[in-house]
Amino acid sequence: MSTTPHPEAITLQLPSPGPGRPAHTGLRTAVTRPPDPAPEPATLRQPDDPDTPLDLAGIGIGPFNLSLAALAQPLTHLRTAFYDQRPAFRWHPGLLIEDATLQVPFLADLVTLADPASPWSFLNYLKHRDRLFPFYFAERFHIHRAEYDAYCRWVSENLPGLHFRHQVDAVRWNSDRASFEVDYTQLGDDGEAEALGRTHARNLALGIGTVPHVPDPLKPLVDAPAVPVLHAADYLAHRERLLTADHITVVGAGQSGAEVFLDLLRSRPTGREGLHWLARTAAFAPMEYSKLGLEHFTPDYTRYFHALPEPVRDQLLPGQWQLHKGIDHATLAAIHDELYRRTLHGGWPDATLTPGVTVRTAGRVGTTKVELHLDHPHQGARSRLTTDAVVLATGYREGRTDTLLAALDPYMRRDAAGRPRIDADQRLLLDPCVTGSVYVQNAEHHTHGVGTPDLGLSAWRSATILNSLTDSTTYPLPARTAFTTFGLRPSPPRNLTDIPRPNSTLIENP
Mean of the per-residue pLDDT values of the chain: 88
Say if residues 222 and 79 touch (Cβ distance below 8 Å).
no
Query: d(Cα 368, Cα 366) in Å, to the nearest integer?
Result: 6
Q: Kindly state the average pLDDT of the residues 390-398.
A: 92
Q: Kindly state the average pLDDT of the residues 157-174.
A: 97
First to last CA, the chain: 37
Check whether 14 has a pLDDT greater than 70.
no
pLDDT tens-digit map of 169-202: 999 999 999 999 999 999 999 999 999 999 999 9
- pLDDT, residue 322, reads 83
- pLDDT, residue 405, reads 82
80 half-sphere exposure, CB direction, 13 A CA radius: 29
H-helix segments, 383-493: 445-448, 458-470
Banded model confidence at residue 49, pLDDT cuts 50, 70, 90: low
Specify the length of the chain in residues. 510
Banded model confidence at residue 74, pLDDT cuts 50, 70, 90: very high
Check whether 425 has a pLDDT greater than 90.
yes
pLDDT tens-digit map of 479-500: 999 999 999 975 554 444 444 4
- pLDDT, residue 398, reads 78
Check whether 310 has a pLDDT greater than 80.
yes
Query: DSSP string covering 109-127, please?
Result: SSSTTT-TT-TTSHHHHHH
- pLDDT, residue 323, reads 87
pLDDT tens-digit map of 328-385: 999 999 999 999 999 998 899 999 999 999 999 999 998 889 999 999 999 999 999 9
Q: Kindly state the average pLDDT of the residues 400-408.
A: 80
Say if residues 179 and 96 touch (Cβ distance below 8 Å).
no
Q: Kindly state the average pLDDT of the residues 448-469.
A: 96
Contacts of residue 219, defined as CB under 8 A and 6 or more positions apart, other chains included, come to none
Interior angle at CA 61, CA 431 and CA 17, nearest 5: 15
Query: d(Cα 166, Cα 183) in Å, to the nearest integer?
Result: 10
What domains are there in the chain, each with its CATH number? 56-211+398-470 (3.50.50.60), 214-287+325-392 (3.50.50.60)
Least reliable range by pLDDT among 14-28, 214-228, 237-251? 14-28
- pLDDT, residue 50, reads 59
Per the model's pLDDT, the better-predicted residue between 45 and 446 turns out to be 446
Say if residues 226 and 302 touch (Cβ distance below 8 Å).
no
Query: DSSP string covering 347-397, please?
Result: S--SEEEE-S-EEEEEEEETTTEEEEEEEETTTTEEEEEEESEEEE---EE
Per the model's pLDDT, the better-predicted residue between 469 and 324 turns out to be 469
Check whether 2 has a pLDDT greater than 70.
no
Q: Is 285 exposed, middle or buried (0-12, 13-18, 19+ CB in 10 A)?
A: middle
- pLDDT, residue 366, reads 86
**Alpha-carbon distances of 496 from 492, 493, 499, 500, 510, rounded to whole Å:** 11, 7, 6, 9, 19
Query: d(Cα 343, Cα 334) in Å, to the nearest integer?
Result: 15
Q: Kindly state the average pLDDT of the residues 90-118.
A: 96
- pLDDT, residue 321, reads 85
**Alpha-carbon distances of 101 from 92, 109, 145, 148, rounded to whole Å:** 13, 14, 5, 9
Per the model's pLDDT, the better-predicted residue between 8 and 359 turns out to be 359
Query: DSSP string covering 161-223, please?
Result: TEE-SEEEEEEEEETTTTEEEEEEEEE-TTS-EEEEEEEEESEEEEE--EEE---GGGGGGTT
Query: d(Cα 387, Cα 364) in Å, to the nearest integer?
Result: 10
- pLDDT, residue 210, reads 84
Check whether 11 has a pLDDT greater than 50.
no
Banded model confidence at residue 24, pLDDT cuts 50, 70, 90: very low
- pLDDT, residue 208, reads 76
Banded model confidence at residue 404, pLDDT cuts 50, 70, 90: confident
**Alpha-carbon distances of 296 from 114, 141, 150, rounded to whole Å:** 18, 20, 28
- pLDDT, residue 281, reads 93
Backbone angles phi, psi at 437, to 5 degrees: -110, 145
Say if residues 33 and 43 touch (Cβ distance below 8 Å).
no
Query: d(Cα 472, Cα 465) in Å, to the nearest integer?
Result: 11
- pLDDT, residue 507, reads 37
| pLDDT > 90 fraction of the chain, expressed in percent and rounded | 77
Query: d(Cα 90, Cα 213) in Å, to the nearest integer?
Result: 19
Element (H, E) at 57: strand 56-59
Say if residues 21 and 432 touch (Cβ distance below 8 Å).
yes
Q: Kindly state the average pLDDT of the residues 429-447.
A: 95
Check whether 23 has a pLDDT greater than 50.
no
| pLDDT > 70 fraction of the chain, expressed in percent and rounded | 86
